[in-house]
Chains A and B, each alone.
Chain A
Amino acid sequence: MKQYVTITIDGVHIRAAKGTSVLDAAIEYGICIPHLCHVPGLSDIGSCRLCIVEHVVNGKSKITTSCTLNVEEGMVILSNTEWVKKLRRNNAELLVAQAPNSRAIQDIAVRCGVKEVRYPFRNHDCVLCGRCVRVCTEMWGARAIGFVGRGNGRHVDFPLGVRPDFCKHCGSCITLCPMTITPCDGPMKIGEEYLCGKCESQLSMAEGISDTCVWCELGKGFQCARYT
């Protein structure tokens, strides 16, 4: 017997099964909270910090990631306050400054309200979202890739740097990677990066989210006018 609880997100009462994360509950109801490292069916690690919301307890707001917060009866969540938008925008800005050569990340940045990038651009080809690692570990149990190192040196690699023979080239990691979505005009020239974000994010299509957002009828997933 599944147990259900009622929570409130942005004033809307939502019924969700116990054990569901706030993010999943919100998305199911069409309230799209931006996210990057979340993949339906895989574990949530709360590393991108884009899905942050205000969790109101005893009148005080705590910022936490909605993907790691499980629903509980009477929970009050605010996903779209000025404060949350600002914090989310700043994190998105950090991401796009790190890897502007990704259509998906450019799109996330613009959708999270980034208007200008105040840091020098870098041209990294990985934002450490961990989607590839988690699909290989959890969906396939293969562990052909994983995180290695710490802090700035953290990166994704094969065991001992060599592709193991149990990697079956399934391509799941590449499909999920936000960096491998083809840039529109070709890669940006080094030293001439800029904030773009004009393209549709393929991310939402890859996840197969089909519901329309309750806030407008413009379309699917990230296509929320309220974030621009």
Chain B
Amino acid sequence: MPETTLESILEGRRSQPHQLIEVLQDVQECYGYIPEEAMKVVAEELGVPLMEVYRVASFYRAFSLTPRGKNMITICMGTACHVRGAKLLPNQVHGQLGVSAGNTTEDGLFTVENVNCLGACALGPLVVFNETYHHHTTPGKLRALIDSTREKEMEETTYEQAQ
């Protein structure tokens, strides 16, 4: 655990329990999830009982207690997206990758997440794939996107193995 990064997150916030959520958000951004070690350090430095840190980390969807996969697939489940058929998208992902919302594939390549409205409702169904927004997504398009990403990952692994 790079102590310096956690250190910089905690700077100026020590002994300020009300900063807990902001601190955890920075931890999430930095590590991609909230490691147990980080929770212990945060508890100590902010003066918040560990139980409370764990409680907050488990309550909010922005925080993940398990490491995320290499590629993030976020599916918008807002009302506007839903009436345009967004319901088919998690099914598609489940059929193709075998994982449901909030989980990561065994090979660690993909994490799927549902989010309750991204605010781009006119362009639904919306899927965010590694921070890139894809609008008017259909099961077919999503399938193709996952396939092409997987191929690229395979190429990279083969390349790395060849080195």
Interface residues of A (CB under 8 A from B): 143-150, 157-160, 164
* B58-A143 in contact (CB<8A): no
B39 within 8 A of A: yes
* B49-A160 in contact (CB<8A): no
Q: Give the residues in chain A near B54, CB-CB below 8 Å.
A: 146, 148, 157, 159-160
A164–B54 Cα distance when bound, in Å, is 13
Q: Give the residues in chain B near A164, CB-CB below 8 Å.
A: 50
What number of residue pairs across chains A and B have CB atoms under 8 A from each other? 32
Q: Give the residues in chain A near B58, CB-CB below 8 Å.
A: 148-150
Which among A147, A149, A150, A159 is the interface contact of B50 at CB below 8 angstroms? A159
B52 within 8 A of A: yes
Q: Give the residues in chain B near A160, CB-CB below 8 Å.
A: 36, 39-40, 50, 54
Interface string of B45-71 (1 = CB under 8 A from A): 000011111110011000000000000
A146-B51, A146-B54, A160-B50 given. 12 additional CB < 8 A pairs? A143-B49, A143-B50, A144-B51, A148-B54, A148-B58, A149-B58, A150-B58, A150-B59, A159-B50, A159-B53, A160-B54, A164-B50
B47 to chain A, nearest CB (A): 13
A149 to chain B, nearest CB (A): 5
- Given A160-B36, A160-B39, A143 and B59 contact (CB-CB distance below 8 Å): no
A127–B52 Cα distance when bound, in Å, is 20
> Can you list 18 A-B pairs, Cβ within 8 angstroms, ordered by A?
A143-B50, A144-B51, A146-B54, A146-B55, A147-B55, A148-B54, A148-B55, A148-B58, A148-B59, A149-B58, A157-B54, A158-B51, A159-B49, A159-B54, A160-B36, A160-B39, A160-B40, A160-B54
